[in-house]
Amino acid sequence: MAVINPARSGSRLRALFATLAAGALLATAACGGGGGDSSEDPDAKVTLRFSWWGSADRAKSTQEALDLFTKKNPNITIKTSYSAFKPYWEKLATETAGGNAPDVFQMDRAYLREYADRNVLAELDKGVTDQVADSVKESGVVEDKLYAVPMGQTTFVMVYDPAAYQKAGVKPPAKGWTWQDYLNNGKKLTQSSGGKASGLTDLGWQWESFETYLLQSDTQLYTEEGKLGFTKDDLKKYLTMIDNLRKQKASTPAKVTATIDGSIENMPMGKRLSYTENSWDSTVASYYEVLGKPVGLAPYPTDTGKLGAYAKPSMFLSISEKTKVRSAADKLVEFLVNDPEAAAILGVDRGLPPNTANRDKVGATLTGAQKAVYEYEKSIESDLVPAPPAPPKGNSALKDYWQQMNEEIAFGKLTVDKAVDEFFTRAEQELSA
């Protein structure tokens, strides 16, 4: 299953932490800069648990890389588990609260601070990021401590169906297109399909798209103090715009958007119910696979000339504070991030390789979807803005609430004005909890 990140698990994660974690979990002492227990025998036979989220394609390449790792480290056995994004976080929250987190696991930027602040993550040696691109090198740092290492670099993208655009006589989106172009394209594409599909997928399914919109006007989602960085007027303007897209039948109706579950197969475009979709470029290969044909890539529309895109770690690798096999865990993280053979196997399925030397080597060998992603990122490299700091605690719950709010507006159960007031009230509760 090909997966993106619609996380609806923020509230569940918080509840599990609150009811199960309590004492033992939160009282764990920090390890202090990585490197493991000095009494650990690095050659001892050990078994390490590694969990991650992703698609079947990702499973294949990941297992191939892990096979190479165990061949180079025959004393280490790896037990893996993977799933779609939503069940991954539900399971990880349960395991973590029970003190049984995997030794190494994927981490997302939206949850990084929450897990770090709760002492779930081991502090890592910053040397592991020596060759990581400057654009994402510090992205796994919280309070000056490294808790997560980028496993790939991704950024926002509009994925579109070139054939549908050609059939509708619509110029394909490209750098410099505006939000009015976005609306016009959506309406024409919907009309061209005879109403069987929508020109656009409703932007409101994704919290991060609002962040992109804000960054186009130099506005942040959060302040450095962890408060909302935008005003009620900013939110009202955005929600009104995407509501207008729905009302003019440019974007998917509520009943279609509500079925999004995080897999590309169940995204409107994956089900051939939309021709343009906001996503991360690390998911492009999955679109190729699900649709059985290439898709086009373009940046978000903008009225300011700024794309609002930044280099985001597609995912991180973190180590459990409670691991008993720290030396092996450190070796695995180092291998997956910096080993050139591992980089060649993993390609750009998790976005561009974080290690810059590996990135250039891998880029020269790519074909198909992976080449398209590499060339897209190169084309907008000079337009990327610095990545915002890791979101504050409460972000995962707000991300969850955002999707609920969007659905209620789309189904006509909530007005934009009321949604704005309720969102700010909810944000105050979540960010101060």
- C-alpha 367 chain-centroid distance: 23
Of 20, 148, 29, 149, which is closest to residue 96 (Cα–Cα)?
20
List, in order, residues 6 or more apart from 426 with CB less than 8 Å away: 398, 401
pLDDT > 70 in the chain, percent:
91
DSSP code of residue 130: T
| Lookup: tokens for 326 | 């720290």
Is the separation of the CB atoms in 275 and 298 below 8 Å?
no
pLDDT of residue 16: 52
Cα–Cα distance measured from residue 233 to residue 221, given in angstroms and rounded to the nearest whole number: 14
List, in order, residues 6 or more apart from 48 with CB less than 8 Å away: 76, 77, 78, 79, 103, 104, 325, 328, 329, 332
Is the separation of the CB atoms in 258 and 250 below 8 Å?
no
pLDDT at 246 over 90: yes
pLDDT of residue 13: 52
pLDDT of residue 30: 37
Q: What's the whole-number mean pLDDT along residues 141-157?
A: 92
Alpha-carbon torsion (228, 232, 237, 242), positive or negative: positive
pLDDT at 1 over 60: no
pLDDT at 139 over 70: yes
pLDDT > 90 in the chain, percent:
67
Burial class of residue 130 (count of CB atoms within 10 Å of its CB; 0-12, 13-18, 19+): exposed
pLDDT at 137 over 80: yes
Where residue 19 falls among pLDDT bands split at 50, 70, 90?
Answer: very low
Strands 156-160 and 296-298 turn out to be: antiparallel
- If DSSP codes are grouped into helix, strand and coil, which group holds residue 160? strand
pLDDT of residue 15: 52
Of 317, 234, 361, which is closest to residue 66 (Cα–Cα)?
317
Of 364, 369, 339, 371, which is closest to residue 354 (Cα–Cα)?
339
How many helices, marked H, and strands, marked E, lie in the chain? 18, 10
Cα–Cα distance measured from residue 340 to residue 343, given in angstroms and rounded to the nearest whole number: 5
Global pTM reads: 0.76
| Lookup: tokens for 170 | 């619509």
- C-alpha 114 chain-centroid distance: 16
pLDDT of residue 200: 98
More confident residue, 199 or 226: 199
More confident residue, 25 or 162: 162
pLDDT of residue 26: 39
pLDDT at 55 over 80: no
pLDDT digits (tens, 9 = 90+) for 383-403: 988 778 788 888 888 988 999
Alpha-carbon torsion (262, 263, 267, 269), positive or negative: positive
Q: What's the whole-number mean pLDDT along residues 356-374?
A: 90
Strands 145-146 and 296-298 turn out to be: unpaired
150, 363, 346, 90 alpha-carbon torsion, rounded to 10°: 40
pLDDT of residue 135: 84
pLDDT of residue 7: 39
Q: What's the whole-number mean pLDDT along residues 301-311?
A: 95
The CA distances from residue 32 to 36, 121, 124, 292, in Å, are 9, 11, 8, 48
Identity of the residue numbered 261? D
- If DSSP codes are grouped into helix, strand and coil, which group holds residue 79? strand
- If DSSP codes are grouped into helix, strand and coil, which group holds residue 80? strand
